[in-house]
Every structure is written in C-alpha cells, then in structure tokens.
Structure 1
Amino acid sequence: MHGSMFLRFVFIISAMVLQIASSNVIVEKIEEKVENECNLSEDLINEIRGYKNVVLKITDHILNGKFKGEVHKSLQTFTDKFGSRMAGSDSLEKSIDYMEALLKNEGLENVHTEEAKVPHWIRGFEAASLVLPRKAKIEILGLGTSVGTPRGGIIGEVVAVRTFDELRKLPDSEVKGKIVVFAPTWQGYGATASYRGSGATEASKKGAIAALIRSATPFSIGSPHTGSQTYAQGVRKIPAACITVEDAEMILRMYNEGETVQIRLEMDDYNLEPVTSRNTVSELQGTKSPNKSVVILSGHLDSWDVGVGAMDDGGGAFISWKAVKFLKEMGLRPKRTIRSVLWTGEEYGYYGAKEYQRTHKENEAEEFNFFIESDTGTFDPVGLDFTGNKEAECIFREVLNLMAPLNATQFETPADGGPDISVWLNRGFPGASLLNKNDKYFWFHHTEGDRMLVEDPDSLDRCVALFASTAYIIADLSVDIPKEIKN
C-alpha cells in the first residue's frame, strides 16, 4: 500500500470510529433524557427487572420447547378449514363457532362470545375492460359497501387524476357522466388509502358515474387490493373498485397524452341489512380481583373475501389467544386477568371493538388496565409501540427492556398497529401494538396473496413469546398502568 493510500485509509478509519463514538453518545444522551424524565421508584424499577428470568422461561418454552411451531400449525389448520371470513358471511360465523369450541377444549377460562352488529355486503360478478384506445382486460376488486352498476354494466369515458386537488380543480362539466380514475402516488398506507376510502364520494360530487382507484400498495405484480370505502352523507352512491397499480398508471399516461380512454365496468355488488356477529373471548383469570384491571390481548378474526386472512389478521388473532394458553400451561398465573379478545367486523370499521366498548363502558375504568393488539402482520418482532401518559410510558419502557432475548426492545409512540384498541387508546387508556419487520405487509394486504406462505413459524413463535411475556409482567405488577380517561 502506498503511503498516501495508507494515510487515506487511516483517515477513513478514524472518521468511522468518530462517527460510531458520536452515535453512541447520541444514544446515551437519548437514554439519559428518557431516564431523567422518569420518576419511577427504585423499588418499582427493581420489581420490573425482577421478571427477567420469567421472560427467559417463557421465551425458551415457546422458541425451543413443546410449543415451538404450534401457532403456525394451528393457524394453518384454521385458514385451510375456513378460508376467507368476511363480516356477514357464513364462513366467519362458522369460524367463530369453531374458535369458541377450540378455546374451551384448550382449557382456557371464561370462554364465551359477545354479540355485535356488522355490515353485510355481497360481492357479486365484477369485470372491467378498456374499450378505447384499445381493448384490454382490467383487473378489479370492488370496495366494501360499494353499490353495483346497472344490469349489463356501464361504459364511460375516463378522467384520470393523481390527487383530489386535481379533480376538484376540474370543471364539473368535464367530469359529469364519466368514470374517474385515481392514480395517487404511494405515500404510505394512510395517505394512499384515503383515495380508496373517499374516492367514490369525491368523484360523485363532480357528477361522475363510477370511481376506480389505484390499489393501496407500494409494490404490485398486477394484483388489485380491496378494502372498505364510505359514502359521505347526501352524495349519490356510485360504483367504486380498486385497480392494479400498473393499470392505474397506464390509464393516467394515456389520458395525459390526450388519448380518449373508455372503460366498460360491470359490478353486481350490493348491501343487505346488518347482521349479528360475535367477538370471541377467553381468559387466564388472575389470582386477585379477576374482573378488575384486565390486560387485553387481541387481533381480529374477520378478513376480506380474497386470500384467507392469514396475515390480516389471523396471525394477530392466534398469537393473542395462544399467549394466554401457553402461560396457563406453563403455570404462570398473574395477579390480574389476561383476556384474549378476537374482534369481529374490523375491516369495515372496528364494529366489534366499538360494540365491546359500548357494552363494557359503565365500569371500563375499573375493568381495563392495558390493551395490546397485532394488526400489521406477524413477521419478526422488533418491539412494541405505545400510547399512554408519561408515567405509563416510563413503566412500559422498563418492561420492554426485558425483551432483549427476543431482540424486541424497540420503542415507538404512538401505537400504530392497533386499530381496534384505538377505541380505548384515543380516550386515554394505555396500550401497545406489535412492531415487526412488516416491510412487505402491504404487498399482500387485502389481496389473494394473503395466504399461509407469507407466515413464518419461527416469526410467529417470537411474536407470541413477546405478547405472552409483556402481558404477564403488566398483569402481575404490584401497580396498575396509569391512565387518564377522556369521555
């Protein structure tokens, strides 16, 4: 190595060392800041840290013992047996009957169901095709609660836009009687899915006869993604469906190049009266005050009618009730009750959770201590995100630090992966949701691809170990997790 090259090498290494040192200082300062903001007693800190061996026991039993692979095997049996489980369908209700019987057979306690009304939407025949400037098939999936087209379908000229603002700037005369195609750029799930949720309403306001919306996904192989949509009060209800990313972009290009684009659309979709479904409940009852300060573990049992709901949200539901089962079989019974709730009607808007909250509202401050949910996949866990006041956060951080054996100590706030429990978290109850390596979650979300091949047995084991460990510690502590409830 030449002298100049050697000096350059030394310089680069020195810079890297300084950068690493600087990063460590930043991390230490962040940790010091968090520690300074917390005023937990030394006794409470030592009490929490005393659960280290319990976490090791739970982790070893699930990852290396007789429970290894059980979640994946049970979920596979369930999805093979029932397939998709859309709210209002026989398959969902039969799957709930099955789960109630299974939970009783597994020896869980206080197993029962609680009723909730859910929407009943029927997906009928759906087809779309490009008529001009050439003929081609367009893959579609109608959006939940969408109305259908008149019998025989419709043919309409297309207006294509990227954003709501672009549509609003167009004169009504340019949109009236046409099909609006939305091709928003992927900006994360929430922002992109807003077009799915409100696209039909915005198009209808301008006089459109239908709305076709780019699927809410960052990656596509020609698969449309379904989901729910809502008509605003007072607007004329028009058919709404998702199309693939590829087709949305192609149609937008054609339109912007001045081509006359026409689409034929036929949808035999319709809404029936709401029906009764059920949340499915099971428990590991606490040794003290079993009906007070309950810790909730949850996921939703319903799915869309494409795929089999393995990822959304079979995995989340199964790690929740399996955590309760595994703790019971390990003889780990905490002071407070740990309750698994498998929600119904989540995909249409948290119908099961909202009804559960309504029926438990009278004594909810006394009944509920902490909520945990998984609804963004059950891939390798990296930690938990959290919503709650500062004192609750300080306690929760200490608990989360014990999850090092699972490499799952990452903390984020607020909780982002618990739509059902947001019914409580938004009102001041503390809670958390699973943080996992879900970078490909929206590749399969609400598509035919949501099947068992996206689930990994070892990842499911780590997720259930995280849920079981966290729930046990919080349920067994000498103190409740603080809350500030807003009505």
Structure 2
Amino acid sequence: MPHRSSPDSESIVKLFSALSLTAASVFALGAAHAADTHIPDAAVRAAEQLRDRAMNDDTAYRFVEGLTTEVGPRLAAGDNDAKARAWVIAKFKALGFDKVYEEPVSYPKWVRRHEAGAIVAPFAQNLVLAALGHSFPTPAGGLTAEVVRFENLDALKAADPAKVKGKIVYIGFKMQPHKDGHDYGTGSSIRVGGPPLAASKGASGFLLRSAGTDAKDRMAHTGVTGFADAKANGIPAAALSNPDADQLERVLAYAKPVTLKLDLDVGFDGDYTGANVIGEVTGKKHPDQIIDIGGHLDSWDPGTGAIDDAAGVAIAAAAAHLVKQMPQRPDRTIRVIAFANEEAGLYGGKAYADKHAAEIGKHVLGTESDFGAGPIWRMSASVKPEARAAIAQIAAVLKPIGVDYDDKKPGGGGSDLSQMHAKGMAALTLLQDGTHYFDIHHTANDTLDKIDPKELAQNVAVYAAWTYLAAQAEGDFGSAPAAFAKDKDEE
C-alpha cells in the first residue's frame, strides 16, 4: 500500500478556517432570512376569510350612498365642506372606530358662480364649457377675443408671444380610454400647465378640450389649473365638452378668424381652513405603528363626487370596519384618512405629510384609493428588498379576486399619500380598471348610479385583506426618511 503523508499544521489551519467561514456564511444567511419580513400562516388564513366576507359586504356602498345623497357635491371650501366633514365624523364613529379626530388644513378658497361661452363669429352659437378650478374671472360683461389654436403644450411653449397676446388660446388633445388611464397624464398637464403658460405669453384666456374620454356626451370636465392663488398672473380658463371642442375645430378649419366670448364669474375669495378627517382602529401589539389608507373627501361641484372620491373614502372606511369586527384586534393601528382638498392641489395630503414627517418610520405601509370604483386588477409596491416575500404573500391572497402583482413597477401610494411616500413611507399602488373612469371624471355625471356595488365590494375585499396582512406582518416594509427617493412617479 502506498504511503500517505500526514497533513501538516498549515493545511489543518486552512481546513479549519474554511470550515469556520462556511459556518459563518450559513449563520449569516440564516440571520438574513430571519430578518426578512414575513406574514404568519394564521394571519394569511384569517385574511382569506376576511377577503371572502368583504366580497359580499355593502358597507362601502351604503357609505357612498349616504354621503352623495345627504351631502352631495363637496367643493373644497364650499357650502358643503363643513357638512361633509361632520357627516364623515359621525359615520366613522358609527362604524366603531376607536379614535375619530380632525387635523386642520388651510388653502385658498375658490368659488364658481356662473360660466358661459359662445362662438361669436363666423358662425354664432353657444358652447358647453366648465370653468377650471383656480381660473380667474373674465371682466364684467365677459371677454371677447380671437381664438388661436395650438396642437400641444410644446407648440405653445415655442410660440412667438406676439401670436398669442390678447387672444384666447385653445389646445385640443383628445384623450383615449385605457385600462390604466395613462392618457390623463397628457390631458391633465395641458389643463394644469396650459393656462399659466398662455398667461405668460400675454393671452387673454385659455380653453382646452376636456380632459375626458366621453366623445359623445355634451358635458365639460372641470379640474384645477396651475394658478396657485389670487396673486398669480391669472387669466380666465375653461374646458369645452368633447362635442363642443369638435365643433370649434370644425369652425377653425374654415381658416377664417374665429371670435369667442367667455363669461366666467369665478375666482379666489380669501383663505379657508378645513381639515383631514381621521378614524383609527388601534393596534393591540404596536399601537404606534400605522397602516395608512384613505381617499379624498372633497369633490368638484358639478356632480356629487361618487367615483371621485366618495368611493375611495368608503373603501378605506369599510375595510377598516371589517378588520375591526374580527375576533382579535390587528397588531398595528389602521388609520383611515378622508383628505381635504385633493382636487385643487393635494392640500390635505401635503398637510398630513408635513405633520407626520418626523415619524415616517412608524408609517409602515400605505396607499389611497382615488381612481373610481372599478375592480382592482394590478398591485405594485415600493418596499425594502427584505419585504418582497411578504408582498408576495399579500399578492397570493389577492390573486383569486382578480389582482395581479407586478413586481417591476413601484408603488406610489395614490394621490394624497404620494406625499408620505415621497418622505419615505413604503407604499402600494392598487390600480382599478379605469377604462371608463374618465368618461365621467370631474363632470355632472359623477353620481351614485355609476358605481357597481359588486365591483365596489371587490375593492373593499382587496383593501381589507392587504391592510390586515400588513398589520400582522412580522418585520417592517422599509419606511424611513427618503427611503424611496429613487422611485419614479406613478403612472
């Protein structure tokens, strides 16, 4: 038998070093795995039962029905603003929330009194339009001026001010319906950015084709402009219904000078202090850790604000109510926020984020519902890498009711809670089917009959399930100051 030499001391040292490194690696891997956020199996099973129960619950529909019937339109700082807040406070208490309170929000008051428009020449006829939020008024007796048309904002930016001065600028972008509503990004940028840009070039007024997808309905879609307050260099601004925009464009096609008259009795009227209305289900284990959900309480004034956004407040309130009814309290606190004045500039969301910025790490996960009441079909998330497995657990619970998880897209938190996300709160985006949302968005047609109770219940089921799962998660989702600063804007 051949002789085998004994290992020398140096080889033994190397062997033990390698074994030590392997053990350390295994320990580190186990520690890292232990640090991953995880949702216990018992919580998953409870969430599945909660989801199924919510699919047949009518709490949210009754909420929207009551708010839109007993209060109606809720223009920020308008006659129904305080009435709406009082109604929601009473409703939150009736739903059994442990704490119900307000946090003040101040902003400029804007009023709408009268609006009218007409083609004066070459073919006289009235137009259906709506003054835009934060529009400035026309002079007494109205404004009559020639129209100049631009294809888009870039064309207006490039225009010689001499071509614009004293004229009414018109931009006619036609939105198309999409499930994710992505054309609204262009439509709303024209509505918000167009009037200040036109004013800076000396225009006397501004018109756009409504930022909406209802091609045949003769209803104008209102919405805010980029004028922040009464000190702005403002001009009268309005949106034409889609059929009236078609008519104006046909008249412009004759290549003759087209003169319009606008008569807008609107404008700023000092400052106003409203409030975010908040209801809480207090957590039993971590009462100082918050799951944020909500919608915005204000609406534009032509309709009753059913889909925008009584539905959002109702979805969040019903979800928290159903969690409250479970045999045991959630581990973390669930906070429902009915935000003030989202429509005119996210005032409620900004005030909430400013007030709670110092405690951003305690706001574990959040999102707002503000895209109508169609069924939720996609979830995305902005969380730390170690929480992705927990998000996948949430996704698995939501999958049977039609929600797909896109792990490549960020979650922005929705409109108002985007402000908390910008400060570092981990966030979801739960996207409803918006194919027909912009048919009635910001119009007189935003009324209760547009809401399907079963589709609304699906929204509640999604919110109840994810909210409960996040409240029961062992570990966090990564909320910390500026934690998601690299996130891209939501769609």
Structures share fold, TM-score greater than 0.5: yes
The 3 A distance-change label for structure 1 pair 288 and 240 is same
Give the alignment of 1:2-401 within 5 angstroms. Answer: 41=33, 47-64=39-56, 68-186=57-175, 188-220=183-215, 221-231=217-227, 236-291=233-288, 293-365=289-361, 367-401=362-396
The 3 A distance-change label for structure 1 pair 417 and 213 is farther
CA contact (8 A) 1:162 1:185 kept: no
Q: Aligned partner of 2:53: which letter?
A: H
Q: Distance in 2 between matches of 1:381 and 1:350?
A: 23
Q: Distance in 2 between matches of 1:336 and 1:46?
A: 15
Normalising by structure 2, what TM-score?
0.85
The 3 A distance-change label for structure 1 pair 44 and 358 is closer
The Cα of 1:48 is off from its aligned counterpart by 4.6
Q: Distance in 1 between matches of 2:172 and 2:257?
A: 17
Q: Distance in 2 between matches of 1:330 and 1:382?
A: 26
CA contact (8 A) 1:379 1:438 kept: yes
3-state DSSP class of the match of 1:148? coil
CA contact (8 A) 1:402 1:409 kept: no
The Cα of 1:57 is off from its aligned counterpart by 1.3
Aligned partner of 1:476 among 468, 472, 475: 472
Q: Aligned partner of 1:140: which letter?
A: L
Q: Distance in 2 between matches of 1:468 and 1:98?
A: 23
Give the alignment of 1:430-449 within 5 angstroms. Answer: 430-449=426-445
Q: Distance in 1 between matches of 2:32 and 2:238?
A: 52
Percent identity over the alignment?
A: 30
Q: Aligned partner of 1:57: which letter?
A: Q
The 3 A distance-change label for structure 1 pair 456 and 309 is same
The Cα of 1:248 is off from its aligned counterpart by 2.3
The Cα of 1:332 is off from its aligned counterpart by 4.0
Q: Distance in 2 between matches of 1:341 and 1:404?
A: 26
Q: Aligned partner of 2:204: which letter?
A: I
The Cα of 1:205 is off from its aligned counterpart by 2.1
Q: Distance in 2 between matches of 1:51 and 1:44?
A: 17
Q: Distance in 1 between matches of 2:157 and 2:323?
A: 55
Q: Distance in 2 between matches of 1:375 and 1:339?
A: 16
Q: Distance in 1 between matches of 2:423 and 2:35?
A: 30
Aligned partner of 2:402 among 407, 410, 428: 407
The 3 A distance-change label for structure 1 pair 308 and 332 is farther
CA contact (8 A) 1:319 1:467 kept: yes
Q: Distance in 1 between matches of 2:360 and 2:469?
A: 21
CA contact (8 A) 2:118 2:260 kept: yes
Q: Aligned partner of 1:132: which letter?
A: A
Q: Distance in 2 between matches of 1:197 and 1:427?
A: 24
CA contact (8 A) 1:49 1:402 kept: no
CA contact (8 A) 1:75 1:318 kept: yes
CA contact (8 A) 1:284 1:339 kept: yes
CA contact (8 A) 2:39 2:469 kept: no
Q: Distance in 2 between matches of 1:232 and 1:352?
A: 15
The residue aligned with 2:414 is: 418
The Cα offsets for residues 326-353 of structure 1, whole Å up to 9 and x where unpaired, read as 1112224111111111111111111112
Q: Aligned partner of 1:261: which letter?
A: V
The Cα of 1:387 is off from its aligned counterpart by 2.5
The residue aligned with 2:3 is: none
Q: Aligned partner of 2:100: which letter?
A: V
RMSD: 2.2
Q: Aligned partner of 2:406: which letter?
A: F
Q: Which runs of 5+ in 1 are unaligned?
A: 1-38
The Cα offsets for residues 436-467 of structure 1, whole Å up to 9 and x where unpaired, read as 22211111110011111111111111111110
3-state DSSP class of the match of 2:332? coil
3-state DSSP class of the match of 1:268? strand
The Cα of 1:218 is off from its aligned counterpart by 2.7
Q: Distance in 1 between matches of 2:431 and 2:274?
A: 29
Q: Distance in 2 between matches of 1:390 and 1:46?
A: 12
Normalising by structure 1, what TM-score?
0.86
CA contact (8 A) 2:319 2:460 kept: yes
Q: Distance in 1 between matches of 2:172 and 2:299?
A: 25
Q: Distance in 1 between matches of 2:464 and 2:472?
A: 12
The Cα offsets for residues 2-37 of structure 1, whole Å up to 9 and x where unpaired, read as xxxxxxxxxxxxxxxxxxxxxxxxxxxxxxxxxxxx
Greater mean alpha carbon deviation, residues 434-443 or residues 161-170: 161-170
Task: Count residues in correspondence.
Answer: 444
3-state DSSP class of the match of 1:124? strand
CA contact (8 A) 2:412 2:427 kept: no
Q: Distance in 1 between matches of 2:232 and 2:48?
A: 57
The residue aligned with 2:11 is: none
The 3 A distance-change label for structure 1 pair 486 and 171 is same
CA contact (8 A) 1:323 1:465 kept: yes
Q: Aligned partner of 2:258: which letter?
A: V
Q: Distance in 2 between matches of 1:427 and 1:43?
A: 24
The 3 A distance-change label for structure 1 pair 45 and 203 is closer
CA contact (8 A) 2:85 2:277 kept: yes
Structure label with greater radius of gyration: 2
3-state DSSP class of the match of 1:125? strand
CA contact (8 A) 2:68 2:304 kept: yes
Q: Distance in 2 between matches of 1:141 and 1:114?
A: 32
Q: Which runs of 5+ in 2 are unaligned?
A: 1-30, 176-181, 484-491
Q: Distance in 2 between matches of 1:314 and 1:232?
A: 25
The 3 A distance-change label for structure 1 pair 470 and 232 is closer
The Cα of 1:203 is off from its aligned counterpart by 1.3
CA contact (8 A) 2:60 2:317 kept: no
